[in-house]
Copies of this chain bind each other. A is one copy, B any other.
């Protein structure tokens, strides 16, 4: 094939990724051995990854990855890795995920850290502990990839205004974080690994001090692996509802950490913690969660929904700690796009569900593994609208768009608006497609709220929606067409839309 894109190099780097990934199959393999479960799923996966990866590295890649090759690498990685990642589900053949379409959905949901599931029965009766651990691990591995993607690769490729991450507060430039992508990756991953171990440690410690009876080592590891990547998978059928209030507060804390720009932690470790306090995105992020959380807590505590139809949720209305905890947990889980649930918010009043639905569009911070639109984009959209109003009154005025002492240039602003508009339009079209297709499946027929939530939950990499796709339900009932379409949404949403669209333009491939 004659093209301007050196796809050999992209495939070669993908090969290296697969080779490294093959080693990670050892964790579920060891788990299988420990519990006396079938090791074949992981042996097959490890061998295929190693073999395919090694074959690809033989393509003689160039040592330097160009601009176009970067886009191809990113798109291919989040396509090939989830495809290979279906093998444990397919070989194990347990439950609904034994079906190829379901396996692909679940694998894509894992590596994109979305957390939407097609597992109809999440229990150790149906699924082995080792396969469920692989499911958790896909999110942790996906999170590693996304961090590098967000902090080092996309800003370099100037996608969707991703460059603002590197402009955020003076001197906080990613190119200057470390001079090379490899070093940046290593720095981010150190923080990521450290927080993961800390989360596992804290979760397990709560059991040791008697505050979480059922937080076994397995559960601590499983949830530690899906908190930091804002993943949201849980081997418990009722998600974090299965655990005590103490565990739920701990999970809230680590979700907040997971949705924060990791570069800020890096600077804090480098002795510049002021970046964290002064960062406008971090402040807006906390403010957004505080506002949504307070609104929901008030609605749950008083039992007064926006619709003025009193819907007393059993055990919440009138119980202050419980109302606050449930409101804050769900708010943080949604805004950080983690997607855990500490109770079935399908039992809540519809108006509170609408609040959650809007919160799904916020997204966590840039420079984290969180998905959706992200706080810094909304912040700059708001600033741009304010400036537009100002310059409409004062046409002669020149007012730069500032954020934390830095100035966002016109190209960045335009990129951000393009991204947000594409995101909204893709969401709206997807809502309709999902809605309409649901009528092909007897007994599924979604209502508009459910279709809306299914679209944003997958495109925004949030995980659960409301109603049929609520936190204690799953996406298995959808048609194969819808499931493949939502798999596509998770993929394109995760790669910030534009980096996928770029590959689809003729200008990209032209010599």
Q: CB within 8 Å of B: which residues of A?
A: 67-68, 71, 157-159, 305-309, 351, 354, 358, 381, 384-386, 388-390, 392-395, 410, 413-415, 417-418, 420-422, 424, 428, 432, 435-437, 439-440, 447-449, 452, 498-499, 501-502, 505, 507-508
One of B71, B307, B390 near A440 (C-beta < 8 A): B307
Distance, CA A67 to CA B499, complexed state (A): 42
Would you call A418 and B385 a contact (CB within 8 A)?
yes
| Distance to closest chain B CB from A508 (angstroms) | 5
When distances are taken between beta carbons in the complex, the residues of chain B under 8 Å from A440 are 307-308
Q: How far is the CB of A72 from chain B (nearest CB, A)?
A: 11
- Chain A interface main SS type: helix
For the complex with contacts A307-B440, A385-B422, 9 further pairs of A-B residues with Cβ separation under 8 Å are: A381-B421, A389-B498, A389-B505, A390-B507, A392-B499, A393-B502, A393-B507, A414-B414, A421-B424
Contact indicator A392/B448 (Cβ below 8 Å): no
Instruction: Select A354's contact among B354, B386, B420, B432, beta carbons within 8 Å.
Output: B432
> How far in angstroms is the closest Cβ of chain B from A509?
9
Cα of A439 to Cα of B308 in the assembled complex, Å: 8
Shortest distance between the CB of A447 and any CB in chain B (Å): 7
Residues A418 and B159 in contact, CB atoms below 8 Å apart? no
Cα-based distance from A394 to B417 in the complex (angstroms) = 20
User: Could you tell me the distance between the alpha carbons of A449 and B447 in the complex, rounded to whole angstroms?
Assistant: 9
Given contacts A306-B436, A418-B417, are A501 and B389 in contact (CB under 8 A)? yes
Which residues does chain B contribute within 8 Å of A385, judged by CB atoms?
A: 418, 421-422
CB within 8 A of A449: which of B394, B420, B448? B448
Question: Is A436 touching B307 in the complex (CB atoms < 8 A)?
Answer: yes
Pair A395/B448 contact, Cβ less than 8 Å: no
List B contacts of A384 (CB < 8 A).
414, 418
Residues of B within 8 Å of A159, CB to CB, are 392
Q: How far is it, in angstroms, between the C-alpha of A175 and the C-alpha of B91 when the chains are bound?
A: 71
Least CB separation from A416: chain B residue: B417
C-alpha spacing A381/B420, complex, angstroms: 12
- What residues on B are CB-neighbors of A392 within 8 Å? 157-159, 498-499, 502
**Chain A to chain B: the 6 pairs with minimum beta-carbon distance, closest first:** A448-B448, A417-B417, A307-B439, A306-B436, A307-B436, A388-B418
Measured between alpha carbons, how far is A388 from B496 in the docked complex, in Å? 14
Residues in B with CB closer than 8 Å to A502 are 389, 392-393
Of B68, B305, B395, which one neighbours A393 at CB under 8 angstroms? B68
Specify the chain B residue showing the minimal Cβ separation from A381.
Answer: B421
Q: Which of B309, B420, B452 contacts A421 (CB 8 A)?
A: B420
> How far is the CB of A294 from the nearest CB of chain B, in Å?
18
Q: How far is the CB of A470 from chain B (nearest CB, A)?
A: 16
Q: Do A507 and B422 have beta carbons less than 8 Å apart?
A: no
Q: Which of chain B's residues have a CB closer than 8 A to the CB of A508?
A: 389, 393
Q: Is the CB of B415 within 8 A of A388?
A: yes
**CA–CA, A14 to B208, complex, Å?**
76
Q: Is the CB of A393 within 8 A of B505?
A: yes
Whether A417 lies near B410 (C-beta < 8 A) is no
24 CB < 8 A contacts A-B: A67-B395, A71-B393, A157-B392, A158-B395, A307-B436, A307-B439, A308-B439, A354-B432, A385-B421, A388-B414, A389-B498, A389-B501, A389-B507, A389-B508, A390-B507, A392-B499, A393-B507, A414-B414, A417-B417, A417-B418, A421-B421, A424-B424, A447-B447, A448-B448
With both chains docked as a complex, state the minimum distance between the C-beta of A108 and any C-beta of chain B, in angstroms.
24
Q: Of all chain B residues, which has the CB nearest A157?
A: B392
A288 → B minimal CB distance (Å):
15
Q: How far is the CA of A421 from the CA of B306 in the complex (A)?
A: 25
Nearest opposing residue in chain B for A388, CB measure: B418
